[in-house]
Amino acid sequence: MTDENKSKSQEDEEARVGVYVCHCGGNISDHVDVETVRKRAEKIPGVVVARRNEFMCSDPGQDMIAEDLKSGKINRVVVASCAPSLHETTFRGAISRAGANPYVYEHANIREQVSWVHDGISATDKATRLVAAAVGKAKNLTPLEPIRVDAKKHATIIGGGVAGLKAAKDLSDRGIEVVLIEQSPFLGGRTAQLEVLAPTGEKASDVVSELAGSVLDDPAITVYTCTKVVGFEGYVGNFVVTVKVTSSFSEEDQGRLELVRESGKAAGEFVPFVGVYPGSAPEKDEELKIETGAVILATGFKLYTPFKGEYGFGEFQEVVTLPDFIRSLSENRKEGKALEINGKKIRSIAMIHCVGSRQIPGIHEPDESGNLNEYCSRTCCTATINAANTIRQAYPETRVYEFYRDIRTYGRGQEELYNEASDHGVVFFRFLPEEPPVVTGNGTGQGYPLMVKVKDTLTFDEEVEVPVDLVVLAVGMEPTPIPDLVDMMKLPVGADRFLLEVHPKLRPVELSVTGLMLAGTCQAPMDVGEACNAAGAASVKTSAMLAKGFVELDPFVAEVDLQKCKGTGACVEACLAEGALNMVEMLVEGEKVQRAQVFPALCLGCGACVAVCPENAIDIKGWTLKEYEDMVDMIVADELVA
């Protein structure tokens, strides 16, 4: 029997619903009487099987559903468990493997919507009603087929840092043509502004040179620097990205270009603290249109800028950020027992952690937009401790003091750096966030320009004063501001202002807009290794999606009943996705009329059009008005919980 005939047969059959209730390892069963819900489900009209399992998402749980489908006991499935965003794909896959249509399935969320907010009888009763509503809908479900659209074997990557470079090379190696877009004249991103990578000790120049060189030498990869995205349209497999190549540069980029000229490096070679300059700058502005199948965002991060007066920043020239200090350390390297910067001997350095990270409302000062960085930037502790080790090993007469709230050396090999710092005589002071170190000018006449005062919790709140020549602020990461891209591409942004993936475990590098992927620190603070791993994951997802030459999309899209449609156009006005709904001219009973037509690949399935149609001539597949009505009827049926 063909798939089409199978679907038709399934559609014509009387609905036989199987209900499967999950304990969720106690997450649900500790608050909901799961057995009572199961027994009540058995009595719902149309239900022929009701079962429960400790973990429905486990292999035994999925096998339970598959066996009932294969045996012919059921032809519709309801799973009552956690949020559908977590395991809807899991259960659809199990249904497909059993040879059934994956869209004859409905999900009841009895964890987030029930057990996590209710308890006892009220939780059990609410769970029963949600299961009944799901059954009411499931009985009306018809087998659907995914929407198939042609897809170009081409990807566009926005961002030329290590994540963007890694994704570009990985895609090319998998047979996907790539265009890489970088807004600055240089490749390498923030990694190019480092000297070594902790904890491995690899030279940043080696990592960037290898990645950039492999990309520039690859004939399947086209690199555009000095380029910005100015337009975006289309759908997965068939996007059109409009870019503008500019011949004007920012003041910062002008300065970096001057460093390239002074270095005497050839095009494509690494320039310390600048990156790789691929070649000559554009001579004129021009716009280009790129037809592409998918887009990977690798827009990176920017460093937090302390406000004036934060730990003396902007008030004392001896207060600098860690990235600036790392550069000074590299440029002033020379033999000697004490560090010298710009000819000045540095006898004592204070390093302050968590500057611009883990900020607390009411304690820390928000930026001009009212934002607080409440997240941990993750890489700062390791970078700071690595710098401290470098100083103590090379310049044993330079003392290093670290002022921290918590040490978070989370990655492989990073804890060892912390242990090394202790062995090298780095002195640690721990402070509370509400009592941070205070940096003042030193008026004691000891020859040190600054004094750092702190209440040290490691010594039972002893107040300590440390005279220093230099204060180094371990500034955190902030997402690169990309408001134009967010608006153009309808990108989801989290509360921390980083781009938000669909699901951190099941779809960690995918955006909610199908065909858009994430790579690196535009998603969250990451070290170089993590950013490259994320880029690899994004490239694998992208190549798997495009390799077949077509993409299959869920069929939950609007559908117009041409017998009812009168061509009012209200649906087109309400549509949230440009191009998804249009009025087209057609012949009806020999007369030319305007009728609504859906372009499925662009439809969001949001239902805005359904709400405004005066003729009820439009519906959403898989979410019809009849299904909603039956769900409501089941929710209010008091006999269910009697």
Structural domain including 438 reads 310-477
Q: Among 477, 509, 540, where does a domain finish?
A: 477
pLDDT, averaged across the chain: 94
Reported residue count of the chain is 642
323 inside domain? yes
Percent helix / strand / coil, the chain, rounded to 5: 35, 25, 40
Whether the CB-CB separation of 357 and 377 falls below 8 Å is answered with yes
627 inside domain? no
421 inside domain? yes
> Residue 606: which of 578, 581, 584, 576 has the closest Cα?
576
634 inside domain? no
Q: Which residues contact 246 (CB under 8 A, 6 or more apart)?
A: 226, 227, 228, 282, 285
Cis bond before residue 199 (omega within 30° of 0) = yes
Does 351 have pLDDT greater than 90? yes
For the chain, report the end-to-end CA distance as a whole number of angstroms: 44
Answer yes or no: do 598 and 545 share one domain.
no
What are residue 336's phi and psi, to 5 degrees?
Answer: 145, 160
Burial-class residue 445 by CB neighbours within 10 Å (0-12, 13-18, 19+): exposed
Look at residue 94 in the predicted model and tell me its pLDDT. Answer: 97
Answer yes or no: do 586 and 464 share one domain.
no
Look at residue 10 in the predicted model and tell me its pLDDT. Answer: 52
> Residue 79: which of 137, 123, 125, 119 has the closest Cα?
137
> Residue 138: which of 75, 186, 91 has the closest Cα?
75
Q: Angle at Cα 619 formed by Cα 561 and Cα 555, nearest 5°? A: 105
Q: Three-state SS for 76?
A: strand
> Residue 383: which of 411, 423, 363, 348 has the closest Cα?
411
Answer yes or no: do 485 and 472 share one domain.
no
In the block, tokens 């030459």 appear at 549
Answer yes or no: do 17 and 164 share one domain.
no
C-alpha 535/C-alpha 543 separation (Å) is: 12
C-alpha 22/C-alpha 66 separation (Å) is: 16
C-alpha 332/C-alpha 176 separation (Å) is: 44
Q: Which residues contact 254 (CB under 8 A, 6 or more apart)?
A: none
> Residue 429: which of 451, 452, 449, 413 has the closest Cα?
452
C-alpha 24/C-alpha 61 separation (Å) is: 11
C-alpha 238/C-alpha 610 separation (Å) is: 27
Q: What's the whole-number mean pLDDT along residues 619-625?
A: 95
Answer yes or no: do 221 and 275 share one domain.
yes
Q: Among 126, 145, 164, where does a domain finish?
A: 145
Distances (CA, A) of 283 to 180, 216, 286: 20, 20, 10
Which band of pLDDT confidence, cut at 50, 70 and 90, is reported for residue 11?
low
Does 2 have pLDDT greater than 60? no
Q: Three-state SS for 537?
A: helix
Tell me the per-residue pLDDT of 61-100, one tens digit each, with 9 for 90 and over.
999 999 999 999 999 999 999 999 889 999 999 999 999 9
Answer yes or no: do 486 and 388 share one domain.
no
Which two three-digit tokens encode residue 186? Answer: 């240089």
> β-strand 348-355 against 470-475: which pairing, if any?
parallel
C-alpha 440/C-alpha 456 separation (Å) is: 17
637 inside domain? no
Which two three-digit tokens encode residue 181? Answer: 């877009």
β-sheet bridge partners, residue 240: 233, 291
Burial-class residue 420 by CB neighbours within 10 Å (0-12, 13-18, 19+): middle
Which band of pLDDT confidence, cut at 50, 70 and 90, is reported for residue 1?
very low
Instruction: Kindly report the CATH number assigned to the domain that includes residue 71.
Output: 3.40.50
Q: Among 454, 477, 500, where does a domain finish?
A: 477
Indicate the pTM of the whole model.
0.90
Answer yes or no: do 459 and 524 share one domain.
no
What are residue 499's phi and psi, to 5 degrees?
Answer: -70, 145
628 inside domain? no
Q: What is the DSSP letter of 565?
A: -
Tell me the per-residue pLDDT of 437-481, one tens digit each, with 9 for 90 and over.
999 998 765 789 999 999 999 999 999 999 999 999 999 999 999
Tell me the per-residue pLDDT of 229-253, one tens digit each, with 9 for 90 and over.
999 999 999 999 999 999 888 888 9
Q: Which residues contact 625 (CB under 8 A, 6 or more apart)?
A: 610, 616, 619
C-alpha 2/C-alpha 599 separation (Å) is: 26
Whether the CB-CB separation of 53 and 18 falls below 8 Å is answered with no
Q: Which residues contact 591 (CB under 8 A, 6 or more apart)?
A: none
Q: What's the whole-number mean pLDDT along residues 287-295?
A: 98
633 inside domain? no
Look at residue 152 in the predicted model and tell me its pLDDT. Answer: 97
Helix 322-331 × helix 380-394 angle, to 10°: 30
Q: What's the whole-number mean pLDDT along residues 356-371?
A: 94
Spell out where 266-347 has E strands: 270-271, 275-276, 286-292, 294-297, 301-303, 319-321, 339-341, 344-346
Tell me the per-residue pLDDT of 133-152, one tens digit each, with 9 for 90 and over.
999 999 999 999 999 999 99
Taken in order 495, 498, 499, 502, is the CA torsion positive or negative? Answer: negative
Does 6 have pLDDT greater than 60? no
Tell me the per-residue pLDDT of 169-182, one tens digit each, with 9 for 90 and over.
999 999 999 999 99
Instruction: Kindly report the CATH number assigned to the domain that includes residue 350.
Output: 3.50.50.60
Q: What percent of the chain has pLDDT over 70?
A: 98
SS (H, E, C) 242-295: EEEECCCCCHHHHHHHHHHHHHCCCCCCEECCCEECCCCCCCCCEEEEEEECEE
β-sheet bridge partners, residue 196: 203
> β-strand 319-321 against 470-475: which pairing, if any?
parallel
Tell me the per-residue pLDDT of 365-410, one tens digit each, with 9 for 90 and over.
999 999 999 999 999 999 999 999 999 999 999 999 999 999 999 9
Answer yes or no: do 338 and 450 share one domain.
yes
Q: What's the whole-number mean pLDDT along residues 246-265?
A: 89
Answer yes or no: do 494 and 528 share one domain.
yes
490 inside domain? yes
Answer yes or no: do 28 and 133 share one domain.
yes
Total domains present in the chain: 4
Answer yes or no: do 529 and 584 share one domain.
no
Answer yes or no: do 7 and 139 share one domain.
yes
Instruction: Kindly report the CATH number assigned to the domain that includes residue 570.
Output: 3.30.70.20
